[in-house]
Amino acid sequence: MDMKNASNLKYLVIAALAITVVSCKRSSSSGSNVDSATGWAINDKKGGFQYNTNFKEQETPPGTSFVEGGTFTMGKVQDDPMHDWNNNPNQQHVQSFYMDEAEVTNLNYLAYLDYLRRVYPPEDPAYASIYKGALPDTLVWRNRLGYNEMMTENYLRHPAYANYPVVGVSWIQAVEYAGWRTDRVAEMALQEAGYLKRDAQYTDLNSDSSFSTDTYINAPTQTYGGNEDVLTGGKRRPQVDANGDPINIYANRETGVIPIKYRLPTEVEWEYAALGLSELRSYNIYRGRKKYPWDGQYTRSGKRAKRGDQLANFKQSKGDFGGIAGWSDDGADITQEVKFYEPNDFGLYDMAGNVAEWVADVYRPIVDDEFNDFNYFRGNAYYKNALNADGTVKIVEETIFDTLSNGKIIARQLKGEIAQVPVDDNETYLRTNFDKSDHRNFRDGDVKSSKYYNDNFEEDRVEKGDVTRKMYNSPKHKIAKDSSDNKLIKEFDKSDKRTSLINDEVRVYKGGSWKDRSYWIDPAQRRYFPQDMATDYIGFRCAVSRVGSKSRTDKKKRN
């Protein structure tokens, strides 16, 4: 062996030994990762800090499509014959999120009702209002001068309408459905990850043994009524620390296993998703190329194979619901099965027509882009977990009910969930980004938004017009229970001094419907309706926030 080869061999041996030493050093932490700031082990089998360092990307939630965020021009850019002036163009930025491909269907909602009926039997007086409070109002189909009893009796439950969008659902009911859906998806994810017993929703579920995502995160031992067979009956391999004590029994946010919550989309998210601005810049909207979820300013397809076909379900011309028999303009007279028409560029169906859709926002005539143009939302009311005297979270022991303005009783918080209370000065003291629990009225033009408003502001000065008038003086209908026979007493507000129908309980709905003309299927249009009432033309779909990267593409780091 010559000197050159011997020298090369020596370097190879040294390199091999160095690799072995490094490997041994790393293996001393039982194959776990290392905190770059301290050098301490993460996920060591002996214990210590546990964290999912192998998390790749958020999975697409069931039933949804990915909507990559961006900046766009929100609002109406064509003529405004209604003279509402409530959708002037303004620039907004939306974070990436996921949205249901189609509206929530009758079949989806019936699964929800079936769950409530099994867990909270309506024949039990203690639970009767839970199931009844979730039922859609099927009487919305009735008309004083129309025969619609077939829809009243069949639309919700008959299999022929299984994949049609659910209607007769109030905004409050839609929010409750989204919360229920969150818990069911999280429950399945925890079962698949081995944290919960498989099929527990069939074998161990009842009113005293149920699953709540928030309860599991904050007090896991109190989910399923503390049933250890369910909570530790998963297929995960048991882990113990250096003392032999079990660790990682329950999943937490650090595991990345618990899915992000379902909710109603905000108005900005909904409009952005409806437009499908995957390749267009803001000037394209001003030129009218994006009046609808599809390209162009017309409601009929220009493609050769489908030329002339309507692209959405809406009321044609001066009142044509479906066209002449044998050749229908849009294939429907009332609602149509979801995914009947082509999707937009985000893969979303029926973002124009079919049914209008609830969004999360409280309605105000203005969108205050001067204060905020990032994830704009009006409707923030901040709450926190209620705590016991010992600092543990307070679990709801008996279902909490609420009587709505129309007399309907609904369940606000179910047994087993964490009690919620408004945030107080423990959270707001000396903060600059929010200063109270309820910010629905922030900068909306009412008296409290006045430059001169303070705690000693005189209401009579307001009525006289010295500073500013009260803008949202809406009717206040009263409802109470008669103590003698427990019946509801309903009292209509007959005052002639009311100046508005707008209050903190009216919500925005978007998208137009089967009974709206083409003017309303423009995604920029915005209307409002009381949050505790329902119609035969408003449905909803859910959204899920995106966590992590803005895009799902494998882009390389820029540095």
Return the pLDDT at 141.
Answer: 97
Which has more confidence, 345 or 108? 108
pLDDT-based confidence at residue 281 (cuts at 50, 70, 90): low
Return the pLDDT at 459.
Answer: 55
CA pair distance 538, 550, nearest whole angstrom: 31
pLDDT-based confidence at residue 24 (cuts at 50, 70, 90): very low
First CA to last CA distance, the chain: 46
| Of 29-43, 299-313, 420-434, minimum mean pLDDT range | 299-313
Q: b or e along 267-284 (b: 16 or more beta carbons within 10 Å of the residue's beta carbon)?
A: bbbbbbbbbbbeebeeee
Whether 354 has a pLDDT exceeding 80, the answer reads yes
The 10 Å Cβ neighbour count of residue 375 is: 15
Question: Does residue 539 sit in helix, strand or coil?
Answer: strand
| Of 78-82, 211-215, 282-286, 517-521, minimum mean pLDDT range | 282-286
Whether 184 has a pLDDT exceeding 50, the answer reads yes
pLDDT-based confidence at residue 1 (cuts at 50, 70, 90): low
Whether 469 has a pLDDT exceeding 60, the answer reads no
Residue 177: partners with Cβ closer than 8 Å, 6 or more residues away: 104, 109, 112, 134, 169, 540, 542
Return the pLDDT at 437.
Answer: 94
Whether 81 has a pLDDT exceeding 80, the answer reads no
pLDDT-based confidence at residue 28 (cuts at 50, 70, 90): very low
CA 52 to each of CA 41, 214, 559: distance values in angstroms, whole numbers, following the listed order: 13, 20, 25
Most confident of 22-26, 83-87, 426-430: 426-430
Residue 118 C-beta-side C-alpha neighbours within 13 Å: 14
Whether 467 has a pLDDT exceeding 50, the answer reads no
Mean pLDDT of 342-370: 93
Mean pLDDT of 449-456: 64
Whether 287 has a pLDDT exceeding 70, the answer reads no
Whether 529 has a pLDDT exceeding 80, the answer reads yes
- Residue identified by tokens 């509206």 is 103
Q: Provide the sign of the torsion angle of the four alpha carbons 495, 499, 501, 503, taken in this order.
A: negative
Return the pLDDT at 29.
Answer: 41
Return the pLDDT at 9.
Answer: 58
Return the pLDDT at 363.
Answer: 95
pTM, whole model, 2 decimals? 0.89
pLDDT-based confidence at residue 455 (cuts at 50, 70, 90): low
Contact 274, 357 (CB under 8 A): no
Which has more confidence, 321 or 206? 206
Contact 181, 262 (CB under 8 A): yes
CA 457 to each of CA 54, 437, 445: distance values in angstroms, whole numbers, following the listed order: 57, 21, 16
| Of 7-11, 27-31, 103-107, 490-494, minimum mean pLDDT range | 27-31
The token pair that represents 133 in the structure block: 């409070």
| Of 21-30, 62-71, 145-154, 408-417, minimum mean pLDDT range | 21-30
CA pair distance 46, 23, nearest whole angstrom: 19
Whether 25 has a pLDDT exceeding 90, the answer reads no
The C-alpha R_g of the chain, in whole angstroms, comes to 28
Percent of the chain with pLDDT over 70: 84
Q: Which of 40, 149, 41 is nearest to 536 (CA)?
A: 149
User: In this predicted model, what pLDDT tens digit does every residue of 185-219 receive, in sequence order?
Assistant: 999 999 999 999 999 999 999 999 999 999 999 99
pLDDT-based confidence at residue 242 (cuts at 50, 70, 90): confident
Q: Over the chain, what is the mean pLDDT? A: 86
Whether 553 has a pLDDT exceeding 70, the answer reads no
CA pair distance 434, 133, nearest whole angstrom: 33
Residue 405 C-beta-side C-alpha neighbours within 13 Å: 17
**DSSP code for 166:** P
Return the pLDDT at 62.
Answer: 95
Mean pLDDT of 322-341: 82
Whether 324 has a pLDDT exceeding 50, the answer reads yes
| Of 224-238, 374-388, 476-490, minimum mean pLDDT range | 476-490
Domains, the chain, ordered by start = 64-193+257-377+504-545 (3.90.1580.10), 380-429 (no CATH), 441-470 (no CATH), 472-500 (no CATH)
